[in-house]
Structure 1
Amino acid sequence: MLSEASGRIQSVAERRVVIQGVRLIDGTGRPPATNMRVVVEGGRFAAVSGDEGPVPPDAILIGGHGLTMLPGLIDAHVHLTGQRGEGPYDRYFRDPRAVRLFRAADDAREAMAMGYTTVRDCGLSSFGLELRQAIEHGVLYGPRIAASHHALSATGGSCDWPDLPHDFVRDSRLRGHIVDTPDEAIRAVRSNFREGATFTKVFVTTGNLATEQAWPPREVMSDAELDAIVTSTHAQNALCAAHCIGAAGVQRAVVAGVDTIEHGVVADRWECLDLMAERATILIPTLSIFYHLAGLTGEVSPREAVTERAKRIFDGQLKMIPRALQAGVPLAAGTDTGSRFGRGKNSLELELLCSAGVSPLQAIVAATSSAAAACGWADQVGSIEVGKLADFVLIDGDPLADIRVLQDPARIQSVFKAGPL
């Protein structure tokens, strides 16, 4: 067993491990079970039962009495950019690229130390693809990463940056691929997958709260471009994630066949939720980013206009989520943070979901099996079931009694991760 310096992050790729007497929340939505025995062999769950039984002599025994065992948690929307500034210069040019890469690696490791064995990196000058490859090759120890590589938008969308020359932003792919025809969109998708992407992230609407040219949100991508992106992504047997702020954008994206809606923000257009439920489109409401930008954590001091916008959106999201649950929309947990703020605070999202009326058990499902589905990895991770990769967390406490225990580093007893997906 390999133990990291933190003492909490460990690998179960090689040895047989038996966890005995643990309270089990398996990530499927089933009620918790007590005094459970879980056996790991070859980096996968080999048995889950209520029978303690004998421990093989070559096995590592972990006493789970008084602990809660969860699947490795999953943040379904992060940006591993290593950035720390706010404006274009501070974010992209102040620090050398290598410094930002090392920061992003540390940010990913920080998430893993808090129980997040998988993250889904949604691009915008992020290092998700590089980090994924380094982790797979054993150069770094960190979470498994679903990576979109370069996000896609049209000119004037979120991959553009109006404070900088357009030719430079487009040609350098500073924030992603800028595509303005179906052919350009198809080429960008294929290029991403050629370089190792595992899913596509597309900006159907604008909606950067801090950019005046992007607010109020508007649709900047044509139906033909969006259809080309979705079709070419599905041709790779991969999923397509759509950034949408506003009901019109949500509806167009769902009709086009995207697999996840990032943010949503449908205001009171509840018919969008019915359509999502009908198509089984996963909603990732990203409460954390709006909570941070509204100044409610004290980590950021955005301009007053951003604060007010974020507060309005956050309040609207709190109203939308119960409606989404009632309609039967699948819900996954994603923070939309990862570097500039929210480091190691991924489980704040679960507390915020509960404040919107989600039960603690539903919140855990949103951060496990539902988030795994958003990554396209539901058959491999996200629940403690025989045959799945043995990613799991041992917690000192009961998150069903108080979901906030998942935010306390002292309560995260151990984080275990199997080998690469």
Structure 2
Amino acid sequence: MHEYSPDSRLNDILRRVGVGERLDLVGASLFDGRGPGWMHNVRIRVVDGRIESVSSDGAANEPVESVIDVSGLFVTPGLIDCHVHLHGLDGHDPFRRNIERYPSVRLVRAARDAGAAVRAGFTTVRHLGHGIADQAEALKQAIDEGLVAGPKMLTSGWAISQTGGHGTLHSWPYSLVEQLWPRSGFCDGPDECRKFVRRILGDGADCIKIYTSEGLVSSPDHLVDIPNFTAAEVEAIVDEAHRGGVKVAAHATGLAGSLIAVQGGADTLEHGPHDVDGEFLDLMRESGTTLVPTLTVFEWAASSGHESGIAPFAAERAQRWVAGHRRLVAAAAAEGISIAVGSDSGAPPRGGRNALEIVALAQAGLGSAGALAAATSGGARALGLEGEIGTATPGARADLVVWARDPLEDIEVVADPAAIRLVIQSEGLTKPWS
């Protein structure tokens, strides 16, 4: 159990800007999301929640309603986490975590966790299932209306599993899994899969999440390399999602499941196989699939997952997988495959420490500038929101983070809450994905 403690500093650092407001940040060093380094002595003008101009006259004094002197500080686009679970579940005990007398308390916990994410500089996140789908939609709406502080959310509704697939909790009676949907909904066959995608989109989801293999925590080793869904089912899901104008995120930890996801047209591959396969990487590059490697969830499970209730066999497996996932990231970067940040976090102790994923990517071979790009422009590309978020260029939303220290010189700065001086978040704008 993690006690709630109000973060008074969030009120000090978070500023939402919207229609009718004008704001200038002057004197900054700016990383605009594209790299490779800083633009110095920059003036960033924000009008109506968007960046109107970026100029090198940082000392200019043309009057606007509000001017913030950020001389000597460092500005980046707001950070993007493409894989979170703001579901308000607590711990990893499979029964206590998923069955509560008053399930609505999960929404309160999720609001706490959303505040922790924006406090860490993340102004946009993609919520990829688990928990109760309509609670995620409610949290998204509450953030949009300014009722609670949090990142702008893209939601996937129910994750989609084949019958008997990764949506199953192996410690539960299967009849209870089908009744309560603790991890996902279920469908089989191309027609049923299409219908389920339509249902999810009708409920308000912004993307689709599917499982094409088993995962780290609950499945025995022999199931990990058996793909979930057939090629025809994956193709039907992806085709229906794309017809609806949304992208598909595919969870896969085995090579066979990863292949079927990429071949079927999934837009992002979550986690990925735990070792390097040259032909698979060639396929990812040719298909334009983005890798969201979630390194830190494996590192956490390997080092301290047992403290949160992870089964010993899963913690041992994570230890075996960690090095392979790091090699996968390095090889993908060398192949020119797009990489985006996804922490696979939600509640404490990992929720609110999302930026550790940026540090892990830098250490795995992306370097500081590459990892920061993966958390900004790379995330925007993965979500289909290039030019809208993940960049500090004219026309983009005014989602910005002001840092006291240089994260390109020392990437661990992004994981230090004390280094964040200001988080600016746009509000009141029509969503391009709605």
Aligned pair partner of 1:31 in 16, 30, 37: 37
CA distance in 2, matches of 1:211, 1:340: 24
Structure 1 length-normalised TM: 0.95
Q: CA deviation at 1:131?
A: 1.1
Secondary structure in 2 aligned to 1:371?
A: helix
2:246 corresponds to: 238
Secondary structure in 2 aligned to 1:234?
A: helix
1:400 corresponds to: 408
1:212 corresponds to: 220
> Does 2:258 match 1:250?
yes
> Does 2:106 match 1:103?
no
Q: Which moved more, 1:263-272 or 1:313-322?
A: 263-272
Secondary structure in 2 aligned to 1:97?
A: coil
> Does 2:387 match 1:382?
no
Equivalent residues in 2 for 1:125-144 (5 A)? Answer: 125=131, 127-144=135-152
CA distance in 2, matches of 1:261, 1:208: 15
Aligned pair partner of 1:344 in 345, 352, 356: 352
CA distance in 1, matches of 2:412, 2:309: 24
1:82 corresponds to: 88
Q: 1:54 to 1:36 in 2, by over 3 A?
A: closer
CA distance in 2, matches of 1:107, 1:333: 18
Q: CA deviation at 1:142?
A: 1.6
Secondary structure in 2 aligned to 1:91?
A: coil
> Does 2:337 match 1:329?
yes
Kindly provide the CA deviation profile for residues 314-334 of structure 1, in whole angstroms up to 9, marking residues without a partner as x: 110111111101111000010
Q: CA deviation at 1:168?
A: 3.3
Aligned pair partner of 1:259 in 242, 247, 267: 267
Q: 1:73 to 1:297 in 2, by over 3 A?
A: farther
Aligned pair partner of 1:8 in 2, 13, 27: 13
1:47 corresponds to: 53
What letter is aligned with 1:323? A
> Does 2:175 match 1:167?
yes
Q: 1:46 to 1:58 in 2, by over 3 A?
A: same
Q: CA deviation at 1:340?
A: 5.3
What letter is aligned with 1:68? F
Give the aligned CA root-mean-square deviation in angstroms.
1.9
CA distance in 1, matches of 2:56, 2:307: 44
CA distance in 1, matches of 2:243, 2:389: 23
2:27 corresponds to: 21
CA distance in 2, matches of 1:289, 1:380: 28
Kindly provide the CA deviation profile for residues 35-82 of structure 1, in whole angstroms up to 9, marking residues without a partner as x: 111100000000101113543434211111111000000111011121
Q: Which moved more, 1:122-131 or 1:32-41?
A: 122-131
1:203 corresponds to: 211
Give the total of aligned pairs. Answer: 419
Unaligned runs of 5+ in 1: none
Q: Which moved more, 1:104-113 or 1:122-131?
A: 122-131
Secondary structure in 2 aligned to 1:88?
A: coil
Asked whether the 8 Å contact 2:197–2:240 carries over to 1, the reply is yes
Q: 1:158 to 1:375 in 2, by over 3 A?
A: same
Asked whether the 8 Å contact 2:306–2:312 carries over to 1, the reply is no
Asked whether the 8 Å contact 2:216–2:253 carries over to 1, the reply is no
2:78 corresponds to: 72
| Runs of 4+ displaced beyond 4 Å | 296-299
Unaligned runs of 5+ in 2: 1-7
Q: Percent identity?
A: 36
CA distance in 1, matches of 2:306, 2:366: 25
CA distance in 1, matches of 2:12, 2:388: 26
Q: Which moved more, 1:377-386 or 1:299-308?
A: 299-308
Q: CA deviation at 1:93?
A: 1.3
Secondary structure in 2 aligned to 1:46?
A: strand
Q: CA deviation at 1:372?
A: 1.4
CA distance in 1, matches of 2:141, 2:181: 20
What letter is aligned with 1:268? V
Q: Which moved more, 1:162-171 or 1:403-412?
A: 162-171
What letter is aligned with 1:224? A
Q: CA deviation at 1:167?
A: 3.3
Secondary structure in 2 aligned to 1:200?
A: strand
CA distance in 1, matches of 2:232, 2:283: 21
Kindly provide the CA deviation profile for residues 58-114 of structure 1, in whole angstroms up to 9, marking residues without a partner as x: 421111111100000011101112111212211111462121111111101101011
Structure 2 length-normalised TM: 0.92
Asked whether the 8 Å contact 2:289–2:337 carries over to 1, the reply is yes
What letter is aligned with 1:278? E
> Does 2:303 match 1:286?
no
CA distance in 2, matches of 1:334, 1:52: 34
Kindly provide the CA deviation profile for residues 238-281 of structure 1, in whole angstroms up to 9, marking residues without a partner as x: 10111111222222211111100001125131211111111111
Asked whether the 8 Å contact 1:156–1:162 carries over to 2, the reply is no
Asked whether the 8 Å contact 2:26–2:59 carries over to 1, the reply is no
> Does 2:282 match 1:274?
yes
Equivalent residues in 2 for 1:175-194 (5 A)? Answer: 175-194=183-202
What letter is aligned with 1:333? V
2:63 corresponds to: 57
CA distance in 2, matches of 1:214, 1:119: 33
Asked whether the 8 Å contact 1:157–1:214 carries over to 2, the reply is no
1:418 corresponds to: 426
What letter is aligned with 2:75? M
What letter is aligned with 2:408? L
Q: 1:359 to 1:95 in 2, by over 3 A?
A: farther
> Does 2:304 match 1:304?
no
Q: Which moved more, 1:380-389 or 1:214-223?
A: 214-223
CA distance in 2, matches of 1:188, 1:225: 12
